[in-house]
Amino acid sequence: MSSSNPNQPLGPYQIGEHIVPPPRPASPATAEYRLNHLMLRIKDPDKSLKFYCDCMGMHVVFIFNAGPWTIYYIGPRDAGMTTLGTSKGLLELYHIPADSNTPYASGNDYPGPGVGFGHIGFTVPDVAQTLERVKSFGCEVIKPLEEARVEQMGLPQDVVEGSHGEVHEGYKHVFRQLAFVKDPDGYWVELVPQVIKTD
């Protein structure tokens, strides 16, 4: 398979090098498309809303009881019913009481059945302060600042053991500036500084 689109260069890629393709050419057919939201299944709406709204600063845009489940749409404080179609950074939380005994798997929970969805990320002004805030809400810190151990990266065991090569130091440098916590359902949430130091 080959690609003539310079915005989608095919590998192999040089280890430790950022590939920064030119912007994708304008497309009238998709000019107004944008990622609007992600959906997460949750077990306890009170705990999830406390984490995402009270701790992480989002707010509830609307709640809709669909009968067998309830939807909680949350987003940045400037999101509202009239701007849902043009808003960014929304989360749709699904509380399905019939799933109360079904474990939800994170894609980072090897060797379990996850392997798909990895994490959501928040940009914050001060990662260290945000970590303290998250801890005060009783949530687990799974990767603090200044650490870059491969076993903290949500990878399969054979990668952690180095069977597929070593993680590049440039990535570890960036990874030390990030933190990861778990939300009430065990989903990984990444805390990213507003400015990442590249050297």
- pLDDT tens, 13-25? 888 888 888 888 8
Residue 104 lies in a domain: no
Question: In which residue are the tokens 């939380």 written?
Answer: 93
Half-sphere exposure of 191 (CA within 13 A, CB side): 27
pLDDT > 90: what percent of the chain? 38
In the numeric block, which tokens belong to residue 128?
A: 């260290």
In the numeric block, which tokens belong to residue 99?
A: 């799933």
Q: Which domain holds residue 67?
A: 35-99
Q: Are 60 and 53 in contact (CB under 8 A)?
A: yes
User: pTM (2 decimals)?
Assistant: 0.81
What is the structure's pLDDT at 27?
83
Residue 19 lies in a domain: no
For residue range 104-155, list pLDDT tens digits in order.
777 776 666 655 678 899 989 999 999 999 999 999 999 999 998 888 887 7
* Phi-psi label, residue 164: left if phi above 0, alpha if psi -120 to 50, beta otherwise: alpha
Measured distance CA(110)–CA(63) in Å, rounded = 33
Same domain, yes or no, for 42 and 77?
yes
Same domain, yes or no, for 92 and 131?
no
Measured distance CA(125)–CA(145) in Å, rounded = 14
> Mean pLDDT, the chain, as a whole number?
86
Q: How many domains does the chain contain in total?
A: 2
